[in-house]
Each structure stands twice: as structure tokens, then as C-alpha cells.
Structure 1
Amino acid sequence: MNHSPSLSVRGLVCGCLLLCTAPAWAQTALPLTDLSPFKPASKTWRIAGDVQADLAAANVLKTAGGTGVLVNLPTDKEHGQDLFTNLVHGDADVEFEYLMAKGSNSGLYLQGRYEIQLHDSWGKQRPYSGDNGGIYERWDDSKPEGQKGYEGHAPRQNVSKAPGLWQKMRISFQAPRFDASGKKIENARILSIQLNGVTIHENVELSGPTRGAMENNEVPQGPIRIQGDHGAVAFRNIKLMPFGKQQPSLKDLQYSVYQGQFEAPADVAKAKAAASGKLLQLSAAITTLANDFLIAYTGKLEVKEQGDYNFRLGVPGGKGYLKVGGKEVMPFSERGGTGSISLAPGEYPVEILYAKTANWAKPNIQLSVSGTGLRETLLSDPAAALGNLVDPILVEAPQNTMLRSFVDLPSGGRVTHAISIGSAEGLHYTYDLDNGTIVQAWRGSFLDATPMWHERGDGSSKPTGMVQYFGKTMPALAVLADANAAWKADSVGTGFRPKGYSVDKEDRPTFMYQIYGAQVQDAPRVSANGQELQRSITIDNAPANLYLRVAEGKDIREQSKGLYVVGDKELFIRIDDAGGATPLVRNGAGGTTELLLPVSKKAVYAILF
């Protein structure tokens, strides 16, 4: 957020397009080898090869030599200034990774005018428009106190990571529209914002610039502006995909309806049409038949700009086919599919087939087109929803909540005896009762139980927030012949026996099991501020050479005493009680790195992300 007077940068936009050497509509990735992609700025901005936050000190980032990371380090002596890109944009997707210092505050302004807040909002339970990912409020000094700020938009949920970890944001932005006289005829719009893989905004209209904009006017194109006068922050992998190419359109549409089942496009020529006519737009709402029919559409595709065009055809409960300019773009296949073709400006004959054979779906058809410089856009009836939409069955966790289900992991495999534990603090986790281990943790909302409870279901649920996975599920404890012995992939031969779990007065579970003859109590606990998941493991009758597998990643490094950073700054592990043992970082299977801890009686560590 920016409460200081707006910086006057009139004329900044003029001539900026001349500095964009990338081809029209090509994605632009700012190289970050030096500061040349930006207008001259204060000395607080610099290029580095790496950056590290201090979790114990506010507004502190340490840098390492190299390139690829843009860093702002304002101080009390040098307040810092905002940074403006040389390139300008209209409609665009903007994506970037960023890393916040503890307690830091920054922002990214689309067209220099509409701020998306970047903030250390780690663990905050009820975010508002000034928190991480929020669309900052507009401001009017003429309004009464308490009403000067308006039209701010908080993120749907707080899926922010801890300071010192890389976060990823993707913004889809639609610029305001103007008529030939320069009068605004349509407001700017945030089509969507994804933060750490979770959609936190959709279809938000912006009536005007947010507070602290470079100017209060609105324009077709403007620069990206990064706030530089508040807190320490780092950026990398900044990419911009401009949109604005004129979309193709369907015209002169005609249809013919055929009864029966069809296995190939050639079968249509042998059949007699039961009905035919003209259409204003591509739609399946032209027949009363519910099943066993084929609709053949013909018409022209008008292309206004040369390019590679990607088509997506959806035909629930049947087969689809697409031919453009005499070339097969999609073969006759179940539920349609996708296909691409390179087209020059002009008109092309188009042929679309929709053969419906399955009675589980309602008749429907959707065709969309996308390409470099062109957002995916419907060419069919926009009022027709594809398929049978289902209201999601969402499970919230206003207090400590447990739900048993199957859980599918992206690393492969299904956890068949999983229990997911939700907390009011917005930090949740899933425990594998077959291996005595935590398989995933996440921030934000709790669970989507639609796959489990809708109709017959498949028994699974999935997180609805920002998920941190912990690799393939395997036992948390193992006896190793030596420190280099391979970790056991399953519990066979370990004598593993689950003993259920008990709950405390706050409904927090402690899991119990036997392994290698030892009695284990495993008590994960979410901290009161929602920032960390602390795991306390107590062992009775522990065998010799028993190890706890604390973490796995591509790389694990000790950042400070007892604090380890996993992967490419994906999460932190803090060893709180090693029971007198020394943690071990070693090479794991498949090129991974493992953090192990010898255990005899007790071990306590925290997961921070």
C-alpha cells in the first residue's frame, strides 16, 4: 500500500513501446541481469543471485552475488522509490515470484494504477484488501472519516507463505476500454488472480485507479510499477503475456441433425438429415432428441490476424470433430479434444460434428479458441454451460475438525487410510494412518469433499487451499544399519501396528502406533498464530539406530542454528528438540536430499511454510 503522494510521471508511457523489442504478442520475460528493463530508480534497487530473509528480524534481506533476482532494500536513511518498467501493457497476464522480508510491505501496480498488494500476511486468519494478494482500495479525501477508502477487495482466503519463501502470483488483467474520442466505455477488470496455485480473485471490476496510483487518469496502456518505499522484497521470473489480437469468429452457420449412431465422419454422407437450418451461434439447443443423434455444423471461420490458433471442443456424452480450411484439426474422438492450426487472415470453411451416444449427459457443445496474444475465447453460445455442473461440497473448519477419506497425492498413489485435520487458524494437514506420517499440509480453506460425497463418489477429498506436499508416503521412522542405508519405502517387516488416536480437550488428535517393537505417540499441533505445524514424537522402548525422516527435497540447507530451508525456498523445518542428537542431511533416493534425526525417546520439530 502507498499512503504517500503520487509520484508525477506524466509522459512516462510515451515512447515506451519502442523499448519493447519482443515480437508483438510474444511473452516477455524480464531478464534481470541488470536494471536496464526499468526506468532509473533509487539505489535501494539491485540485482542479486540469491536472497535470504531473517525470520527473527523485520525488514531484513541478505543478498548473494549473481543475477536473476531483483531486490529492493530500503532503509531509514534511504527510503526508496517505486520502480517502473520500460515496457507498457494493456490486456495481459502478469506472473512473477516474490519473497517478502519479515513484516514487509510492497505492491505491484498494473498499468501503474491498480495495486495488487504484496505483504507479509503469514498466518493471518481474516485477510483484508491490504493483505497479501488483496486488490487495494480506492481513496476519496472528500468523504467522511471512515469512508475515505472504498472498493478494496480482500483475497478469498489467506494462502500466503512465510517470509523468506518464494511465492508465485499470476494475474489476468483486462485494461479499460475507450471509444474513438478517448472516453472510457468499460472499466478495467481483474479476470483472475492466482496466489501459490489458488484462485483468490475472479472477475473483479475496477472503477478507477487504486490509492497511490501514479496518476488518477486511466489509459489503454501503462507500465508495471513496483512499490519501493515501504519494505524489503525480492522478485524473480517476471513474465508478461500481452493480449489484444483480434479473435476469430464463426459466421454463416448452418446445421443438419441426423438420427442414429455414427462411428466416423464418413458415415454422415450416407445418412439423411432429419432437420436442418441456419444458426446465429454454435449451439446444441436445436434438437429435441436426447440421445443417439449427430449434428453437423458448417460455416466460415473469419480470421483477422495471422497466427497459430488452438481450438478446444467440448461435447459431453459423445464424440466431436473439427475441420478448418479443409484440414482436420481434431479427429472424431470421445468428448472432443484440442487441436492447433496456423492461419493467415481470411475466411476458412469450417466443419464441426457432434455425435451424442451416452445418456448420462445433456446435449451440449462448446468451442473455444486461443493463441499467442489471444485469451481463450468462446466461439459457441456463452449461455450454455458445458456438462452437468455440480455445486461443490465444501467442508469448513471453524474449530478443530477431522475427516476420514482417501487422499490422492501428485507424487502417485492413494492414501487409503487418511485422516485430514482442520483448524480454525487456517493451517491443516493430512495424516497417513498406515505409515504414521504427515503427507500434506495446507493453508486457507479446509476440504472439498465433492469427489467423496457427490452421487456414488470415489471416496476421496482434496484440500481447497495452498498445499505443501511431502513426497511419496512412507514410514516416518526406520531402523538403519548405518547413516547411509536406504529408507524403507513401506512398513513391511517393521512390525507396524496402528493403535488409533486420542483427542485432547480441544479435539486435537495424538496418533499412536507400534513399530520395531517401540510404542509411538505422534502429536502434531497448529500454533495459536497459525504460522507453524509443530510435531512432537514420543517413543517408548526405542530400538538402536532408530531414525526419524523429518523432510525430503531437492536440496536441504541449514540457514541458521536448527533452521533448515527445504528445496528452492519451499518451506522451513525448525528442530525444536533433538533429544541431544545431531540432525543429519544426506542424499536420498532419486536425487533427493533427506533430513534425518536419530531418536531414542523424543523429538520435536516444526514445519513452517
Structure 2
Amino acid sequence: MTKRNLLTTIGMLAVVSAFAQKEYPSRAPMTPAMSEYWTPQPPIVTPGKAPAEAIGAPSDAIILFDGKDLSQWENSKGQAAGWTVHDGVFTVKKGTGDIRTKQKFNDFQLHLEWCIPEGIEGTNQARGNSGVFLQGIYEIQILDNYENETYVNGQAGSIYKQTPPLVNAMNKPGVWNTFDIIYTAPTFKKDGTYRTPPRVTVLQNGVLLQNNTTILGTTPYVGFPEVVQHGDGPIALQDHGDPSAPISFRNIWIREL
């Protein structure tokens, strides 16, 4: 190596060393707002008239709630579900935690009906907030978005903090809403990454909200999606601790695909 080349090499090493020794500020901690966006708001579509009674289940469906009890459900500790059953429906009991089905599922068609009570107060996310978790992991948001704007990837029918619904098809408080969800579970490579990602189609009140949409990973409140390897999982419903008024559910059934 010539003297000139040697001096050049020494100079480059000095620069690299200086950069290595310099202290840079650490990355700012994640906040919920970092994964939220508000525009464009989905267009409003008025759904057809809600059925007066619960929609009957097909003959091959597994009945997850028959209007009588929560025997098909448990809390996150594997104990009896503590939500309140009354008049053929069940209602979130604040502070008792989420509930989940005892049975676990892979690919499925899920039907559930939910109602925001009349006279509900609050705005944004503090207004009839709940969610249905597919395989206990991927949240489809439940929220009162009737004349209530929020971040679009947290609106009813969104893949929470990921993909907003195509439209806003909410019924007003006091009127039942339906979700029909078709879900394809992920498959995984040996390294734990997706071979095929989870996908979901969601209809609310007969109106398409998600059209075979790819789920990118977990749906955390703070942070971004992560891929977590898993097998079959339950259907879970969220106790969000909403102070304004509790949500009620009825007529929940599932078909394994």
C-alpha cells in the first residue's frame, strides 16, 4: 500500500470512528396517534331496513349464542363469562374483561348482531366501543359511527388500525346492526412469517365493508402490525370499558369452512 493510500484509509477510519462515537437521540416512543389517520372519511351508505327479529342460522352452523346463556363463552382466564344475559341478548358488563369462545376455529363464516343503545353519549372512540377478534388476534372494530367521526382505520368495520371500511353503513343507536364475516386463516413458513396472510371479507347490514382484504398482522392500539405465528383460535369480544353505555349482542353463529 502506498503512503497516499495508507493516509486515505486512516482518514476514512477516523471519520467512521467519529460517527460511531457520536450520540444520536433515541427513537421517540410510539403513541396511539402514530397509527391513526382521519381522511378520507368513508362515504355514508344508508343500509336497508333492519330486521325486527334475529336472522335465523343455517342448518350446519355452530350456535355461539342462542339467547339463553353464555355457556359457549369464557373470560380470558378460562372462567365463566361475566357479561349480562337478558331478554334474548347479552350485554357487556363493564370491568369484567373480554370474553371468548371455548371452541377454537380456523377458516370460517361468522354472523353476529350488535346494538348501540339509544341515548348514547360521547364522541370519537368513546362511543359504543367494542370489537370482534378473529382467532383471538385480529380485531374488526365495533363502534357507533352514526354521525360520529373518528380516525378512519378505527371506524366500525375497519381492520383495527390497518384498513378502513369502504363505506359507513351504520344504523342509528337503538337499531340492530349485523356483521357477516368471511375469514381465511393464515399459513406460516418455518421461520414464522406468513406463507399466506389472513384475509377477511366484512359486510355490515348487507353492505360490503372489506372485500377479501389482507390482514397485515396483529391489530394493537399502540404500534404497528406484527406477524405472530399461531394456530386455531377463538372468537373474542371486547370489553372496552366504554363509560357511556354498554353494547348488546344477539344471534351469534359460525360455519367452519
TM range (shorter): 0.5 to 0.7
Q: Report what 1:71 is aligned to.
A: 91
**Within 5 Å, which residues of 2 pair with 1:200-349?**
200-211=209-220, 217-231=228-242, 232-243=246-257
C-alpha contact 1:108 1:225 (8 A) present in aligned 2: yes
SS in 2 for 1:88: coil
Is the contact between residue 84 and residue 225 of structure 1 (CA under 8 Å) also seen in structure 2?
yes
Deviation at 1:179, TM superposition (A): 5.0
How far off is 1:70 after superposition?
A: 1.6
Following superposition, the deviation at residue 235 of structure 1 comes to 0.7
The one of 9, 22, 28 equivalent to 2:62 is 28
Letter of the aligned partner of 2:111 in structure 1?
A: E
SS of alignment partner, residue 161 of structure 1:
coil
Structure 1 position 81 matched with structure 2 position 97: yes
Q: Which runs of 5+ in 1 are unaligned?
A: 4-24, 50-67, 138-151, 244-609
Residues 193 and 200, structure 1, Cα contact 8 Å, conserved in 2: yes
The answer to whether the 8 A contact 1:209-1:218 is kept is no
Corresponding position of 2:143? 119
TM-score by length of 2: 0.64
- Residue 97, structure 1, aligned to residue 113, structure 2: yes
Task: Note the C-alpha offset of 1:107.
Answer: 0.4
Letter in 2 for 1:217: V
Alpha-carbon contact 2:186-2:197 (below 8 Å) kept: yes
Asked if the contact 1:169–1:196 (Cα under 8 Å) also holds between the matched residues in 2, the reply is yes
The structure where helix makes up a greater share of residues is 2
2:174 aligned to 151, 161, 164, which one? 164
Give, in whole Å, the separation in 2 of the partners of 1:228 and 1:126. Answer: 19
1:472 maps to what in 2?
A: none
C-alpha distance in 2, partners of 1:121/1:130?
A: 10
Residues 223, 81 of structure 1: alpha-carbon distance in 2 compared, 3 angstrom cutoff: same
Partner in structure 1 of residue 51 of structure 2: none
- The answer to whether the Cα contact below 8 Å between 1:155 and 1:200 also exists between their aligned partners in 2 is yes
8 Å CA contact 1:104, 1:119 repeated in 2:
yes
Alignment of 1:533-544 (within 5 A): none
Q: Map residues 187-586 of structure 1 onto 2, 5 A cutoff.
A: 187-190=197-200, 192-211=201-220, 217-231=228-242, 232-243=246-257
The letter for the 1-side match of 2:237 is I
TM-superposed deviation, 1:184: 3.5
Structure 1: distance between partners of 2:71 and 2:157: 27
Residues 393-420 of structure 1 show CA distances to partners (whole Å, capped at 9, x for unaligned) of: xxxxxxxxxxxxxxxxxxxxxxxxxxxx
| TM-fit CA distance, 1:91 | 0.7
Distance 1:224 1:216, change over 3 A: farther
Quote the Cα distance in structure 1 between the aligned partners of 2:215 and 2:169: 23
**Once the 2 structures are TM-superposed, how far is the Cα of residue 229 of structure 1 from its aligned partner?**
3.1
CA RMSD of aligned residues (A): 2.6
Query: 1:219-278: CA deviations, max 9, x gaps?
Result: 2310011001323111111011111xxxxxxxxxxxxxxxxxxxxxxxxxxxxxxxxxxx
Matches of 1:155 and 1:121 in 2, distance apart? 11
Q: Cα–Cα, structure 1 residues 73 and 162, in superposed 2: closer, same or farther, change >3 Å?
A: farther
Q: Is the 8 A contact 1:73 1:233 kept in 2?
A: no
The separation in 2 between residues aligned to 1:33 and 1:216, in whole angstroms, is 37
Quote the offset at 1:130 in angstroms. Answer: 1.1
TM value normalised by structure 1: 0.28
| Secondary structure class of the residue paired with 2:146 | coil
- In 2, Cα distance between the equivalents of 1:166 and 1:157? 18
CA distance in 1, matches of 2:195, 2:219: 19
Identify the residue that residue 86 of structure 2 maps to in structure 1: 48
Instruction: Give the gaps of 5 or more residues in structure 2.
Output: 1-31, 33-58, 121-126
Per the TM alignment, residue 182 of structure 1 is displaced from its structure 2 partner at its CA by: 6.6
CA separation in 2, counterparts of 1:26 and 1:179? 32
Give the counterpart letter for 1:46 in structure 2: T
- Asked whether the 8 Å contact 1:124–1:158 carries over to 2, the reply is no
Higher strand fraction (1 or 2): 1
Task: Name the count of aligned residue pairs.
Answer: 181
Matched to 1:160, the amino acid is M
